[in-house]
């Protein structure tokens, strides 16, 4: 973040409204802006309640004009407390943490003809980081191609939004799954060519899970970017590995510090080119949360 040293900032809450059952969207005044964050990074939220001293890691959903958007589910005491904070209140929030999705790698591949369709595969609380990711990818596509704007209508403020994806022969598809209630799908539609929705109970969209929907949709995609519950991530990663499609996944683990000091949040990574050891222990917070799907050793 240009000018903002790593640390904890006092931030003003601009909004904190419920957008679905147990799901809240919090917007924060945030020093630094979109250029300083990478999609897939997260922030630590610090609670006012002094009986809960550990920070709560929450993925960056969107950054725009010094406004940070986070979307979270109330699952315990901490997120319950969060949901009671009101606009105008101040909250302590860390500067962005972790390594996000490797957009450079994708941009590079987008430059070639082989990579045409990018799939964002997300389940539940894995959906929020897809917003900023989709925006970044859309920008990357606009940057790597030299193509006209759809219907000659340039969005001056955000020209990348009106790039003619079809003309460029590129596609950004989101496949998102939920237990029941759907959220953020309209937001994603802003940036994606299509947004496919699945629900576990069939209450909306496809009745089934994300991977089933991907298959039903005809196995699209030359590159996958995934976020969500571990079983879903593993399933999608296995699917990609089998088809030899590159995939990046964002992992989750219980954290102490969120910045790499406590070694609380390890995962097992088997680097492609490392033949010496069965795996290395990496820190989800610092080395991740995003890893190459083919390198993750999924145990249990």
Partner 1 sequence: MISFHKNQKSAGSNADCDLDLRVTIAGVTLDNPVTTASGTFSAKESGAFYDINELGAVITKGVSLEPWDGNPTPRIAEAYGGMLNAVGLQNPGVDAFIRDELPYLKSFKTKVIVNVAGKTKDEYCRAVEKLSETDADMLEINISCPNIKEGGISFGADTAMAADITKAVKRISTKPILMKLTPNVTDIAEIARVVEAEGADGISLINTLLGMKIDIYKKKPVLWNRMGGLSGPVVKPVAVRMVYQVRRAVKIPVIGLGGIMTGEDAVEFFMAGADVISIGTAALVDPQAPVRIKRELIDFMKNNGYKNLQEIRDALL
Ligand X SMILES: Cc1cc2nc3c(=O)[nH]c(=O)nc-3n(C[C@H](O)[C@H](O)[C@H](O)COP(=O)(O)OP(=O)(O)OC[C@H]3O[C@@H](n4cnc5c(N)ncnc54)[C@H](O)[C@@H]3O)c2cc1C
Ligand Y SMILES: Cc1cc2nc3c(=O)[nH]c(=O)nc-3n(C[C@H](O)[C@H](O)[C@H](O)COP(=O)(O)O)c2cc1C
Q: DSSP label at 161?
A: G
Rg of the Cα trace of the chain?
19
- Residue whose CB is less far from ligand FES, 210 or 265: 265
d(CA 110, CA 127): 23
Binding part of the chain for ligand X, among 5-13, 57-65, 183-191, 267-275 by CB under 6 A, reads 57-65
262 binds ligand Y (CB under 6 A): yes
73 binds ligand X (CB under 6 A): yes
- Cβ distance 221 to 245 under 8 Å? yes
Least Å distance, CB 50 to ligand Y, is 15
Judged by DSSP in three states, 125 sits in helix
72 binds ligand X (CB under 6 A): yes
Least Å distance, CB 49 to ligand Y, is 19
281 binds ligand Y (CB under 6 A): no
Q: What are 120's strand-pairing partners?
A: 174, 225
- Cβ distance 119 to 223 under 8 Å? yes
Token pair for residue 116?
């045409």
Instruction: Give contact residues for partner 1 (rule: CB under 8 A).
Output: 5-8, 46, 50-55, 253-257, 259-267, 281, 286, 299
Among 111, 215, 256, 274, binds ligand Y (CB under 6 A): 256
Scan for tokens 């596609």, then name that residue. 171
Among 10, 17, 49, 274, binds a copy of itself (CB under 8 A): 49
Binding part of the chain for ligand Y, among 56-64, 231-239, 256-264, 280-288 by CB under 6 A, reads 256-264
Among 44, 59, 69, 209, binds ligand X (CB under 6 A): 59
**Is the bond into 216 cis (omega within 30 degrees of 0)?**
no
Binding part of the chain for ligand X, among 66-74, 161-169, 200-208, 215-223 by CB under 6 A, reads 66-74
d(CA 39, CA 122): 14
Among 128, 205, 221, 246, binds ligand X (CB under 6 A): 128
Query: Which of ligand X, a copy of itself, ligand FES, none binds 73 (CB below 5-8 Å, type-dependent)?
Result: ligand X
Query: Which of partner 1, a copy of itself, ligand Y, none binds 6 (CB below 5-8 Å, type-dependent)?
Result: partner 1
φ/ψ (deg, to 5) at 11: -125, 145
DSSP assignment string, 130-147: HHHHHHHHHHHHHHH---
State how beta strands 62-64 and 67-73 pair.
Answer: antiparallel
- Residue whose CB is less far from ligand X, 126 or 221: 126
Indicate the residue whose CB is closest to ligand Y: 262
Q: What are 176's strand-pairing partners?
A: 122, 197
Judged by DSSP in three states, 253 sits in coil
Residues near ligand X, by CB under 6 A: 42, 54, 56-59, 71-73, 75-79, 125, 128, 252-255, 289
């Amino acid at each position: 973040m240009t000018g903002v040293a790593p640390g904890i900032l006092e931030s003003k809450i601009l909004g904190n409204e419920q957008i679905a059952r147990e799901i809240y969207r919090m917007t924060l005044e945030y020093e630094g802006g979109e250029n300083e964050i990478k999609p897939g990074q997260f922030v630590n939220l610090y609670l006012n309640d002094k009986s809960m001293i550990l920070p709560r890691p929450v993925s960056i959903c969107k950054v725009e004009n010094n406004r940070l958007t986070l979307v979270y589910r109330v699952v315990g005491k901490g997120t319950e407390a969060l949901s009671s904070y009101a606009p105008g209140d101040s909250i302590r929030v860390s500067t962005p943490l972790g390594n996000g999705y490797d957009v450079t790698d994708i941009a590079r591949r987008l430059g070639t003809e082989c990579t045409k369709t990018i799939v964002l595969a997300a389940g539940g609380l894995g959906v929020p980081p897809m917003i900023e990711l989709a925006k970044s990818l859309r920008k990357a596509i606009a940057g790597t191609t030299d193509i006209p704007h759809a219907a000659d209508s340039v969005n001056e403020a955000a020209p990348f939004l009106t790039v003619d994806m079809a003309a460029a022969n590129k596609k950004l598809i989101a496949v998102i799954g939920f237990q029941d209630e759907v959220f953020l799908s309209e937001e994603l539609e802003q940036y994606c060519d299509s947004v496919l929705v699945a629900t576990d109970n069939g209450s909306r969209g496809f009745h089934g899970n994300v991977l089933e929907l991907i298959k039903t949709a005809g196995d699209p995609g030359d590159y996958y970017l995934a976020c969500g519950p571990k079983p879903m991530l593993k399933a999608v990663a296995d699917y990609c590995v089998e088809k030899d499609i590159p995939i990046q996944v964002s992992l989750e683990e219980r954290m102490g510090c969120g910045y790499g000091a406590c070694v609380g949040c390890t995962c097992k990574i088997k680097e492609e080119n490392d033949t010496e050891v069965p795996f290395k222990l990496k820190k989800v917070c610092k080395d991740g949360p995003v890893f190459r799907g083919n390198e993750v050793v999924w145990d249990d």
